[in-house]
Structure 1
Amino acid sequence: MGSSALTTRSQVGQRPRRAVLYSHDTFGLGHLRRSRALASALTQSGTVGSAIILTGSPVAGRFTFPAGVDHVRLPGVKKLADGTYISQNSGMDLETTTSLREGLINSTIAHYEPDLLIVDKEPTGFRGEMLPILEKLNAAGRTQIILGLRDVLDKPEVLANEWDRKGAIEATERFYNELWVYGPKSVYDPTKGLPLSQAARDRIVWTGYLRRAIIDPADVPDRPYILVTPGGGGDGEAMVDLVLKAYEQDPTLGPQAVLVYGPFLSGDTRDAFETRVAALGGRVTATGFDSRIEALFAGAQGVICMGGYNTFCEVLSFDQRAVIVPRTKPRLEQWIRANRAEELGLVRNLDEFRDGLTTESMIAAIRGLPHQQRPSQAGADGLLDGLDVVIERAQRLMGAQLSDAAE
């Protein structure tokens, strides 16, 4: 990816282009990390001069952002087991929190005046908080508005009901210049089952997966290791428990494992895991959270992970043999992705419906890692053009062309 000091409005003496990326982040790290990758690509390529990420992630401040990229932290919310939401701030009710978020979104966009707005996954935002600003931007007609969708959202019938309930179909039809699907159509169509008009479907751009690279160098173990990561970790307890049971039951199991809990796997659960890790005498080492996980991916001999979008992009980008242990609740998103990826020969899916999540199945999966083919052997390199396509589409939509020096 080239870089250039040329700004996209330099020909007419105006200010550099600006982008805003909205990421509601009610749970986990996925939306924030995807937005960071997109913002980095857009600024480093010279497509925009600067970018702001609007995020509700409680750990946004623990990430580094490249020059030209900043973030505005929205008041956080969290999803309960029954599907309802509460404010992360115990001193505010949900209505107050939503109102404050909406005010910050409107104020930021009004003052920043972006040329490009990328809304991640939720066409109307959290509880409809994006609708007022979408109305204003659409009326003004100066901002290109993009809906960014990961490769898999949920089962088609579940997604259709959810979008109908939220008014997401109407918002998609009215406000969005293009829909960017961050995956190839040959792998999966996340819009299956959605009653989108043909006009809206004609605005879909299949970018391919978003290639990842080492952003922040980090030390990695000298000895061979496998990486064990549940992503953000909020729903990774079962997977981590299963890996530890495998090493506890089979004293000959190797190589050593490096376990990254994720920032949301904490408290008594984490303490209990730490005790078990210590008892394994160095065969498993653990760390709570590492925003530089790309370096650990690159240096591993294989990966045991859950099936979130960003983790899957890292598996493909670093060409890692991987066993995916997908969650199946509250969404089947990860299972659909892992099952399809296994069909294509990209990964091994440790499927609870087929294999059973037993200690024996995990031992067998770890022992089988060295014998799996790498994703590149199944054609993964041809699936990773997402950032290049995003840059090209953003330039075209904003009427921007990079100079020859940026090529």
Structure 2
Amino acid sequence: MTTDSPRLLIYSQDGLGLGHLRRTTLLAAEYLAARPDASVVTISDSPIGQFFTAAPGHDFVKLPSIRKVSPGNWSPVRLESLHFNDVLSMRAEIIKTTALAFEPDVLLVDHMPHGAMGELVPTLEAFDTRPVRTVLGLRDILDAPETVRRRWHLEGAFEVLRQHFDDVFVYGSQDVFDVASHYAWEPDISRRLSYCGYVCSPPSAGPTEPIRRQYLGDDDAELIVAMAGGGADAYPLFDTLLDAMPALQRERNCQLVIVTGPFLPATHQEDLRQRASGLPVHVVPSVQDSLGHMAAADLIVAMGGYNTTAEVLSVGRPALLVPRAGPSAEQTMRVSRFAEREWLRWLPPEELSAPALATSMVDALTTPLQPVGTPDLSGRLRAAELLHEQVEYAIVPASGGG
């Protein structure tokens, strides 16, 4: 295996969301932009497959989809007649066979060092004696520190990280969240950390006026755009938004665009469409240019997923975020830290109600924030640069921790 035409293998376990797949697709595109001769294969299990447009040189291998029911408890999404352990064995074999056949220079593992229920360990062990650099890529906040420490110890993630990984890329900023400190990493693995900044899409190149005209026509109204990533758990926010519209209309002349996301159940989508009838509300399942819609908005209303939040920051428009209530504390932790710096506004999920949401939206439309510092949004560029540097090390066998 030579490094003249580098190969990058990505493992992305996405559950029922789009966040991990979106982030790894962006990183693959940036990696290939610098080396068009390179090849990237992503192994993922998103139920809707290759949702995002892939760059030339990037392909996907689809695993049978699984979902996390609770910490340490998983179930098949579609192969419901099979025992979960059988599906897990199938996934582990597909991962290992693909990895050995592809012969990557670098393996980038997204989020879980050991994979779902340890399915990645056989591949990591096979790579220990091969010239492959292994990199763990983490969004900065995974969950409440005590939860992450407990689960990683219980599942053996710390030991897998120590034995099999050369480096860890954190897609965030240490001054916002210190991964090693909060998650109690020991010095030998803390030394492998590199903070890259937040990963987000390149800025939208198109003008925003056509998007505003599409929804507003000639009306001199304010445009509110509501998004929630894949949308699987977005109904409470969208439901409350519709209930808040009459009170908001009494204060502001505005129109609302709700982008439901592909995972919002069809019954909820239909409910929103029926209730939006007669209101200045547009309900659409997806848009081609999500960043363009954000940039065109007078106010963005969103949940607190990593990708959505990073892209909200990147467009620099007024934003009000309502993180999900659970089961993970990740969104609340992230959004509250950003709100402390006045990078955006937030409404805690336990305070979500139509009156509170309407009041918060009026405040966001009328009162500018005073940001403290600026977020580091260079994660896509920096992580791709570091991945290319890894190829230089892949000329001798790596045994982890090297």
Same-fold status (TM-score > 0.5): yes
1:196, distance to aligned residue in structure 2 (A): 2.5
**Of 221-230 and 74-83, the range deviating more from structure 2:** 74-83
> Using the alignment, how far apart are the partners of 1:47 and 1:138 within structure 2?
28
> Using the alignment, how far apart are the partners of 1:105 and 1:239 within structure 2?
37
Q: Equivalent of 2:292, from 295, 298, 308?
A: 295
Which amino acid counterpart does residue 121 of structure 1 have in structure 2? Answer: H
Q: Equivalent of 1:226, from 221, 224, 227?
A: 224
Does 2:259 align with 1:264?
Answer: no
Q: Equivalent of 1:177, from 151, 166, 185?
A: 166
> Using the alignment, how far apart are the partners of 2:313 and 2:194 within structure 1?
21
Query: Contact (CA 8 Å) 2:324, 2:349: kept in 1 or not?
Result: no
> Using the alignment, how far apart are the partners of 1:372 and 1:46 within structure 2?
45
Q: Equivalent of 2:355, from 347, 357, 360?
A: 360
Q: Equivalent of 1:104, from 90, 94, 111?
A: 94
> Using the alignment, how far apart are the partners of 2:392 and 2:346 within structure 1?
43
> What is the SS of the residue equivalent to 2:136?
strand
Query: Contact (CA 8 Å) 2:22, 2:52: kept in 1 or not?
Result: no
1:48, distance to aligned residue in structure 2 (A): 6.7
1:251, distance to aligned residue in structure 2 (A): 3.6
Query: Contact (CA 8 Å) 1:294, 1:314: kept in 2 or not?
Result: yes
> What is the SS of the residue equivalent to 1:80?
strand
1:371, distance to aligned residue in structure 2 (A): 3.4
Does 2:322 align with 1:343?
Answer: no
1:397, distance to aligned residue in structure 2 (A): 2.3
Change (3 A) 1:198 1:80: closer
| 1:3-402 map, 5 Å | 15-46=4-35, 49-80=38-69, 84-89=73-78, 90-140=80-130, 142-213=131-202, 220-222=211-213, 223=216, 224-252=222-250, 253-280=252-279, 283-290=280-287, 292-353=289-350, 356-373=351-368, 377-380=371-374, 383-399=376-392
Query: Contact (CA 8 Å) 2:258, 2:283: kept in 1 or not?
Result: yes
Query: Contact (CA 8 Å) 1:216, 1:292: kept in 2 or not?
Result: no
1:378, distance to aligned residue in structure 2 (A): 4.0
Q: Aligned residue for 2:400?
A: none
1:272, distance to aligned residue in structure 2 (A): 1.3
Query: Contact (CA 8 Å) 2:248, 2:362: kept in 1 or not?
Result: no
1:205, distance to aligned residue in structure 2 (A): 0.2
> What is the SS of the residue equivalent to 2:25?
helix
> Using the alignment, how far apart are the partners of 1:80 and 1:275 within structure 2?
31
> Using the alignment, how far apart are the partners of 1:199 and 1:48 within structure 2?
35
Deviations 1:352-373 (A, max 9, x none): 45xx212111111211223354
Moved over 6 A (4+): 215-219
Query: Contact (CA 8 Å) 1:47, 1:391: kept in 2 or not?
Result: no
> What is the SS of the residue equivalent to 1:383?
coil
> Using the alignment, how far apart are the partners of 2:71 and 2:144 within structure 1?
19
Change (3 A) 1:107 1:290: farther
Deviations 1:115-174 (A, max 9, x none): 11111111100111100000111222x111111110111111111111011110001111
> Identity over aligned residues, as a percent?
29
- The count of aligned residue pairs is 382
1:191, distance to aligned residue in structure 2 (A): 3.8
TM-score scaled by length of structure 1: 0.88
> Using the alignment, how far apart are the partners of 1:111 and 1:235 within structure 2?
37
> Using the alignment, how far apart are the partners of 2:245 and 2:178 within structure 1?
38
> Using the alignment, how far apart are the partners of 1:314 and 1:186 within structure 2?
19
Deviations 1:52-80 (A, max 9, x none): 11111112333211111111111101233
**Of 208-217 and 144-153, the range deviating more from structure 2:** 208-217
> Using the alignment, how far apart are the partners of 1:174 and 1:297 within structure 2?
42
Change (3 A) 1:21 1:145: same
> What is the SS of the residue equivalent to 1:264?
coil
Deviations 1:80-113 (A, max 9, x none): 3687322112343312211121111111111111
Query: Contact (CA 8 Å) 1:63, 1:291: kept in 2 or not?
Result: no
> Using the alignment, how far apart are the partners of 2:6 and 2:378 within structure 1?
23
**Of 210-219 and 62-71, the range deviating more from structure 2:** 210-219
Query: Contact (CA 8 Å) 1:47, 1:395: kept in 2 or not?
Result: no
TM-score scaled by length of structure 2: 0.89
CA RMSD of aligned residues (A): 2.3
> Using the alignment, how far apart are the partners of 2:115 and 2:353 within structure 1?
39
**Of 201-210 and 62-71, the range deviating more from structure 2:** 62-71
Query: Contact (CA 8 Å) 2:259, 2:284: kept in 1 or not?
Result: yes
Deviations 1:250-290 (A, max 9, x none): 4434421110111111232222111111231xx11011133
Q: Any gaps of 5 or more consecutive residues in structure 2?
A: 217-221, 394-402
> What is the SS of the residue equivalent to 1:92?
coil
